[in-house]
Amino acid sequence: DIQMTQSPSSLSASVGDSVTITCRASQSITTYLNWYQKKPGEAPKLLIYTAYSLQSGAPSRFSGSASGTDFTLSISSLQPEDSATYYCQQSYTIPRTFGQGTKVEIK
């Protein structure tokens, strides 16, 4: 199975800050990497697909990038409603696997 490792496991930042979350795959997944936002009591939401593409309806302050087996989710200007846990997920092969999540808190 492909292992997905996220870092950091949690972070705290202020409104307006830029934030970056990293996800590393244990082997090549080309750009089959997706990002989800999960808030307590809500269903996860797809934010970014195939590493770079912004899902319809997701705010433009979210962006994704890739370099080899390393992927990043960036939030350009953190908003209060961005307080959530973010997960990466590879869709290169079965079984689909997720990172362990990064909890983003607002100071």
Partner 1 sequence: EVQLVESGGGLVKPGGSLRLSCAGSGFTFSNAWMSWVRQTPGKGLEWLGRIKSTATGGAIDYAAPVKGRFTISRDDSENTMYLQMNSLEIEDTGVYHCTTDNSLGTFDDWGQGSLVTVSS
Query: Which parts of this chain interact with partner 1 (CB under 8 A)?
Result: 1, 32, 34, 36, 38, 42-46, 49-50, 55, 85, 87, 89, 91-92, 94-101
Question: Cβ distance 13 to 103 under 8 Å?
Answer: no
**64/73 Cα distance (integer angstroms):** 5
In whole angstroms, the minimum distance from the beta carbon of 89 to partner 1 comes to 7
Q: Order of strands, edge to edge, in the sheet holding 62-67?
A: 4-7, 19-25, 70-75, 62-67
Question: Closer CB to partner 1, residue 49 or residue 71?
Answer: 49
In whole angstroms, the minimum distance from the beta carbon of 3 to partner 1 comes to 13
Q: Can you say how many angstroms the Cα of residue 107 is from the centroid of all Cα atoms in its chain? A: 20
Question: Cβ distance 96 to 63 under 8 Å?
Answer: no
Question: Closer CB to partner 1, residue 17 or residue 54?
Answer: 54
In whole angstroms, the minimum distance from the beta carbon of 55 to partner 1 comes to 8
Question: Closer CB to partner 1, residue 61 or residue 103?
Answer: 103
